[in-house]
Structure 1
Amino acid sequence: MSMPLFEFARPQALLLVLVWFLAMLVVSWGMRQKRRRLVFWLSREEVDLWWRRTRWQMLLFGIATLLLTVSLAQPRYFAGKVSVPVQGVDIVISLDVSHSMLCEDIKPSRLEFAQAIIANLMDRLQPGDRVGLVVFGGSGFPLCPLTHDRSIVRTYLDLISPSVMVYNPTTHIAEGLTASLKLLKGKKREELRGSVIVLLTDGEDQGSNWSQAAADCAKLGVPVFAFAVGTERGAPVPEVTETGAIKGYKRDLQGKIAVSKLVLETLQSIARKTGGKVYLPVDTRREVEALLSDLNDYRQRVWTKQVAQWRELFPLLILLAALSLLGETWLTRLPVANLPETKR
């Protein structure tokens, strides 16, 4: 359906034009009656001069009031269409809290670095976006449901510490993705349009079926944007006591200190399958800006509609009406001889 090139936003206000027309008829009739009475008090020449000025004043006054009346109907013209987002995005942050996230190849540690990224991300999301939080290690569970209240998510985020990680020593990325999907789905069964997962992990999966979990995300239309937290050279994996204290470093079966390294290939495969992207953060801001840009593109792609853009004409009508009223006022000071003749 084609858009009209011109329209009135409030066409019902045009009924006032009829009121204007009747009012101008009454004013015109009244001025003519006054003219007939003036001949008893003034000379014919003086009445003609008065009538010449009055007719011009009536004309300008009528134009001004007509313009003001029409402006109430808000005339406007079509200026094209623009794309606007119609709602926010549901974002589940899936944070790896396994023991390898305590490695210090990224200072102060992988976990604290990831927490700083999340905090910076939440500060810069759109007001309409909802955020949820999932943590995973050997298993995954939702820590905070989807909410517009970022302070609640921050509260739960601050609760994550080494003492919480005692019971999640391993990394099963599939658990994090599955728990994130459950949080996004809720009671819905259809495609999760407008939903994304932000995954923060070192990618060092220890036996979970992350490929199938990524396929489930792709099937539901949920892209995974992954932050690769760690380095390829790696760092020793701390040993954590039941109170969360670090008492040394883990050792492998040969008795050597276990070293955790970034496994970028896993995250790249997940992102490729789901239509997401992998970020290699060197600080807590630069890659967040890249993610925000990608989220905005995603938001525009799935939650936008074409909206007609109109240019209002009533400000121009009001300006012309004001100029007409100024002209009408100016005529009272202009010598009548300077006015052109009008038809009687």
Structure 2
Amino acid sequence: MIWEDGFYLWFLLLIPLLYGGYWWHKRQQGERRSEYFDNRLVQQLRKNFWKTGDKVRLISFLAATLFFIVALAGPKIGTEVREVQRKGVNLMVALDLSTSMNAEDVRPSRLEKAKFEINRLINRLQGDRIGLLIFTDQAFLQVPFTTDYSALRLFIDIANSDQMPSGGTNFSAAMRTAQDSFNSLDEQEQGNAADVLLFVGDGENHGPGYDAQLEELVESNVVTFSIGIGTPNGAPIPVYDENGTLASYERDNSGNTITTRLESDAMRNIANAGGGEYYEIRSGSDNIEPFFSRLDELERGEFSSQEFADYKNQYQVLLGIGLFFLMITLFFPETKPRIFEK
């Protein structure tokens, strides 16, 4: 047997306290009575008093308290089989980890803000399968489609531009990797759920054209949404030393400080061609709340049906017994019934 909330069992200590309070009250009452009346007069005044009935009401009250407290703690005895169905969409998040995502025109940085919004998205998911791919000029599938949201959060938290071999950006490679991930789902795993690609970055693309890869996603019924992070004015790309102190800014071959800007047109075109919507984050207070609503509108498939055994909460039985003793406390006669009189 286990308990839903064993903390409530501490309230069982109230039972001896209640009994002790009752005993002390009766003793004080008897002492005060003896100051004014002798025992013979008290017996006359309390001629119909039934001492046994008084004890029955006390015991019933304490028993009711006992069962109510134990019921409140939620005893779980035995097992029951439950069936859980997972329904949702297949969502792949493509996160840009190029060095330009370290720019701080969106506080605390473009990348940290993107990670924060993705974590907010994960918190809203219910049964959806989600994967994570990261890309610069190369793309890597970091987390295949999964419903293990805790594990996914760990990979998102450690994502940074230092883990990638280079700092450029190649949209085509990211889209190709996303396509391979969706193709890896067989018909049973697919579950007639909508396939969604969420493209997150600042829009700077240093690789080849990606129109062919985007068209292939559309032909595969993958709906592509995009999130642009940054500002049109842009910002330099900071470089921090191992102590976390700002050392310098990224520079080009001529020694000039590089300014990275949000390429909103590129991100908007990706969403428009992919059948989704474009969202923009220009400040730390912006969010992707509208995307949550659109995600709820997409077709949700049934991925799997699982059965598991769980302890069954039996508080109802104890609650019924407690009510029975409470009824005895309230309605048991205070005077001796005639059938017990000699």
Q: TM-score, normalised by structure 1?
A: 0.57
Indicate the residue corresponding to 1:171 in structure 2. 169
Identify the range of structure 1 (239-248 vs 179-188) with the bigger mean alpha-carbon deviation: 239-248
Indicate how the Cα distance of structure 1 residues 246 and 212 shifts in structure 2: closer, same or farther if over 3 A, else same: farther
The structure number with the bigger radius of gyration is 1
What root-mean-square deviation, in Å, do the aligned CA atoms of Structure 1 and Structure 2 show?
A: 2.9
Indicate the residue corresponding to 2:78 in structure 1. none
Counterpart-to-counterpart distance in 2, 1:256 and 1:227: 29
Indicate the residue corresponding to 1:233 in structure 2. 233
Q: Is the CA contact 1:106–1:113 (under 8 Å) kept in the aligned structure 2?
A: yes
Counterpart-to-counterpart distance in 1, 2:252 and 2:110: 21
Counterpart-to-counterpart distance in 1, 2:216 and 2:282: 30
1:176 deviation in Å? Answer: 1.5
Q: Does 1:136 align with 2:143?
A: no
1:245 deviation in Å? Answer: 8.3
Q: Is the CA contact 1:163–1:245 (under 8 Å) kept in the aligned structure 2?
A: no
Q: Is the CA contact 2:224–2:274 (under 8 Å) kept in the aligned structure 1?
A: yes
1:222 deviation in Å? Answer: 0.6
Q: Is the CA contact 2:88–2:193 (under 8 Å) kept in the aligned structure 1?
A: no
Indicate the residue corresponding to 2:291 in structure 1. 291
Name the amino acid aligned to 1:163: D
Indicate how the Cα distance of structure 1 residues 246 and 182 shifts in structure 2: closer, same or farther if over 3 A, else same: farther
Q: Is the CA contact 1:136–1:168 (under 8 Å) kept in the aligned structure 2?
A: no
Indicate the residue corresponding to 1:205 in structure 2. 205
1:184 deviation in Å? Answer: 1.9
Counterpart-to-counterpart distance in 2, 1:132 and 1:272: 22
Name the amino acid aligned to 2:277: K
1:189 deviation in Å? Answer: 8.9
Indicate how the Cα distance of structure 1 residues 256 and 283 shifts in structure 2: closer, same or farther if over 3 A, else same: closer
Name the amino acid aligned to 1:114: A
Name the amino acid aligned to 1:292: F
1:237 deviation in Å? Answer: 2.1
1:138-190 deviations in Å (ceiling 9; x for gaps): 1001111111110010011112134324x231011122221122122215499
Q: Does 1:104 align with 2:104?
A: yes
Aligned runs of 1:168-317 on 2, under 5 Å? 168-186=166-184, 188=186, 194-239=194-239, 247-282=247-282, 287-299=287-299
1:214-250 deviations in Å (ceiling 9; x for gaps): 1111111111111101111111123478999864222
Counterpart-to-counterpart distance in 1, 2:177 and 2:236: 28
Indicate the residue corresponding to 2:310 in structure 1. none
Query: Helix, strand or coil: the match of 2:169?
Result: coil
Query: Helix, strand or coil: the match of 2:298?
Result: helix
Query: Helix, strand or coil: the match of 2:271?
Result: helix
Indicate the residue corresponding to 1:17 in structure 2. none
1:89-124 deviations in Å (ceiling 9; x for gaps): 010111000000000110111110000000000001
Counterpart-to-counterpart distance in 2, 1:146 and 1:161: 21
Aligned runs of 1:89-168 on 2, under 5 Å? 89-125=89-125, 127-165=126-164, 167-168=165-166
Q: Is the CA contact 2:93–2:132 (under 8 Å) kept in the aligned structure 1?
A: yes
Counterpart-to-counterpart distance in 2, 1:187 and 1:147: 12
Counterpart-to-counterpart distance in 2, 1:219 and 1:94: 19
Query: Helix, strand or coil: the match of 1:171?
Result: coil
Counterpart-to-counterpart distance in 2, 1:189 and 1:106: 41
Identity %: 29
1:292 deviation in Å? Answer: 0.9
Counterpart-to-counterpart distance in 2, 1:282 and 1:174: 25
Counterpart-to-counterpart distance in 1, 2:170 and 2:138: 7
Q: Is the CA contact 1:204–1:262 (under 8 Å) kept in the aligned structure 2?
A: yes
Counterpart-to-counterpart distance in 1, 2:194 and 2:243: 40
1:199-218 deviations in Å (ceiling 9; x for gaps): 11000101232222211111
Indicate how the Cα distance of structure 1 residues 237 and 208 shifts in structure 2: closer, same or farther if over 3 A, else same: farther
Counterpart-to-counterpart distance in 2, 1:168 and 1:254: 20
1:280 deviation in Å? Answer: 1.1
Counterpart-to-counterpart distance in 2, 1:93 and 1:116: 13
Query: Structure 1: which 5+ runs fail to align?
Result: 1-84, 305-344
Indicate how the Cα distance of structure 1 residues 283 and 120 shifts in structure 2: closer, same or farther if over 3 A, else same: farther
Q: Is the CA contact 2:231–2:282 (under 8 Å) kept in the aligned structure 1?
A: no
Query: Helix, strand or coil: the match of 1:265?
Result: helix
Counterpart-to-counterpart distance in 2, 1:160 and 1:86: 28
Query: Structure 2: which 5+ runs fail to align?
Result: 1-84, 303-342
Q: Is the CA contact 1:135–1:176 (under 8 Å) kept in the aligned structure 2?
A: yes
Q: Is the CA contact 2:94–2:132 (under 8 Å) kept in the aligned structure 1?
A: yes
1:253 deviation in Å? Answer: 3.8
